[in-house]
Structure 1
Amino acid sequence: MTDFAGPSLVTVAHGTRRAGGNEIARQITRGAGVALGVGSTAAYVELSEPLLSDVVAGLAGPAVVVPLLLSTGYHVRTDLPRACAGGPVVLGRPLGPDPLLAQAQVARLVAAGIEPGRPLVLVATGSTDPLAWRDLRAASHLLADSWGVKVRTATLGGLGPRPEEVLTPDDAVSPYLLSPGLFSRRLAEQCEALSVPCADVIGPHPLVVDLVVERYRDLAGGARATA
């Protein structure tokens, strides 16, 4: 039996009815747990089990909760704090924006055969929260720093322009989505209709695992204090 030391790691993704999308969170969580040498559990806000509130209620010791969410929004500001209330946990901030995510996006663009320097549009799910739009713009700037050209921003809902309003035949699309699901499928269909190349979702890239490890280490001391 493995002897784990330190607070456990709990990640929380949105959750989807598409099994493959939920598996992405589990892969990231397993990788981070192994790298840290701690027990790890992937939880979800909705649409998949285990729910974060149930995981927190069943904890036997302190834990660090790392959201696998890419920007601020209702889940981050309301649902997650509510699910963690009263538990022996420290809740981290959203995973994005972060330079490691931008580097992972570049890797997906290169893997898709998109030539360096091609104009990009970062496309996210979107939110009605102005802070989420701020985060998406920051993510676009970070991607531009890594890709080397200006990156425009579009969303599939909420604040911001829609992809079809900003895309041109010269562009390529970088999905600011962690997992496949309804939104990635819709985006792929739009890009195909417009004959615009589209990279894969960010997924369980090693840099995403590194980012979860980094967030855990930043918070582990506070989690120990809750014990």
Structure 2
Amino acid sequence: MIVLTAHGTRDPAGPKVIDELAERVRARGEPVTVAYADVRDPDVTTVLDGLHPEAGAGEAVVVPAFLAAGYHVRTDIPAQIAASAVPRARVAEAFGPAPELVDVLVDRVRQAGFRAGDAVVLAAAGSSDPRALDEVSTAARALGTRLGAPVRIGYAATAAPSVADAVAGARRTGRRVVVASRLLAPGLFQRRLEEAGADAVSAPLGAHPAVADLVLRRCAEARDGRTGRGAHPDRHAGQDQTVRLSA
């Protein structure tokens, strides 16, 4: 059983994407239920408490549908697992700068009308955690290599430069500017990208088949013991960072 855990948003488009992603994974033969770390219900504790032994509660894997391992992934989700009836549930790694997501970014940017010679701004949610920002930089380098184009980074919140400032900087090169959305779902942050003044803005990553591939890979890694087996929120005490996919 995969417990696919998203941040949560009041925008109804966000849960729709998570539900679509869960359905893609189910279609490949893996049972999936959805939980939220914040904003929406049910939380991870509630979902794990509701699993019956015959439904595979003992084999449950919590897969954080987060693009970076910030506060929610490092602290909130482990705490919710520890408070549940399955406190030793396995926890997968967050999505991070996985190659599957670079594939999705390339697809989305091309669908948005990217053409040779364009400048690209990789737009992420933003974070105060340098590890999360490092992951964005890794994704930007990989995207630039795949597109053969210069890629700047902009943030929808928290970090600098803003997406609008990054677009303005890219505009000074005289190129068309395309924003590559490194958000999982539509919402407030995606609207900020669309208002940043670029010539084109890609759709969020969404329930792309490659994102479903990544969910299954993260689950398999956790089951193989390549990630943490249980929840230990005390190991991450004192971290004060929040990463959101959309708002």
User: Take 2:139 and 2:198, find their aligned partners in 1: how far apart are those partners?
Assistant: 25
Map 1:7-18 → 2, pairs under 5 A: 8-18=1-11
Map 1:164-203 → 2, pairs under 5 A: 164-167=164-167, 168-169=170-171, 170=175, 171-190=177-196, 194-203=197-206
Change (3 A) 1:96 1:116: farther
1:212 aligns with 2:205: no
Q: Residue 44 of structure 1 is aligned with which of 11, 36, 39?
A: 36
Change (3 A) 1:55 1:66: same
TM-score, length of structure 1 as denominator length? 0.87
User: Take 1:12 and 1:139, find their aligned partners in 2: how far apart are those partners?
Assistant: 22
State the shift of 1:138 in Å: 1.0
1:30 aligns with 2:11: no
Change (3 A) 1:195 1:161: closer
The number of aligned residues is 214
State the shift of 1:34 in Å: 2.4
Of all paired residues, the percent bearing the same amino acid is 34
User: Take 1:83 and 1:184, find their aligned partners in 2: how far apart are those partners?
Assistant: 28
Change (3 A) 1:132 1:187: same
Letter in 2 for 1:187: L
Q: Residue 48 of structure 2 is aligned with which of 53, 56, 60?
A: 56
Contact in 2 for aligned 1:102/1:143 (Cα 8 Å):
yes
Aligned to 2:235: none
Q: Which has the higher contact order (CA 8 A, sep 6+)?
A: 2
- RMSD over aligned Cα, in angstroms? 1.9
State the shift of 1:117 in Å: 4.6
Change (3 A) 1:195 1:39: closer
Contact in 2 for aligned 1:56/1:83 (Cα 8 Å):
no
Map 1:143-158 → 2, pairs under 5 A: 143-158=143-158
Secondary structure at the counterpart of residue 179 of structure 2:
strand
| Structure 2: tracts of 5 or more residues without a match | 231-247
Map 1:22-171 → 2, pairs under 5 A: 22-35=15-28, 37-60=29-52, 61=57, 62-85=59-82, 87-167=87-167, 168-169=170-171, 170=175, 171=177
- C-alpha distance after superposition, 1:64-85 (max 9, x if no partner): 1111100121111111111112
Contact in 1 for aligned 2:179/2:193 (Cα 8 Å):
no
Secondary structure at the counterpart of residue 152 of structure 1:
strand
User: Take 1:116 and 1:9, find their aligned partners in 2: how far apart are those partners?
Assistant: 40
Secondary structure at the counterpart of residue 100 of structure 1:
helix
Secondary structure at the counterpart of residue 200 of structure 2:
coil
State the shift of 1:120 in Å: 0.8
Structure 1 stretches (4+) deviating beyond 4 angstroms?
Answer: none
Contact in 2 for aligned 1:126/1:159 (Cα 8 Å):
yes
Contact in 1 for aligned 2:123/2:156 (Cα 8 Å):
yes
Higher mean C-alpha deviation, range 201-210 or range 152-161: 152-161
User: Take 1:27 and 1:108, find their aligned partners in 2: how far apart are those partners?
Assistant: 17
State the shift of 1:111 in Å: 1.1
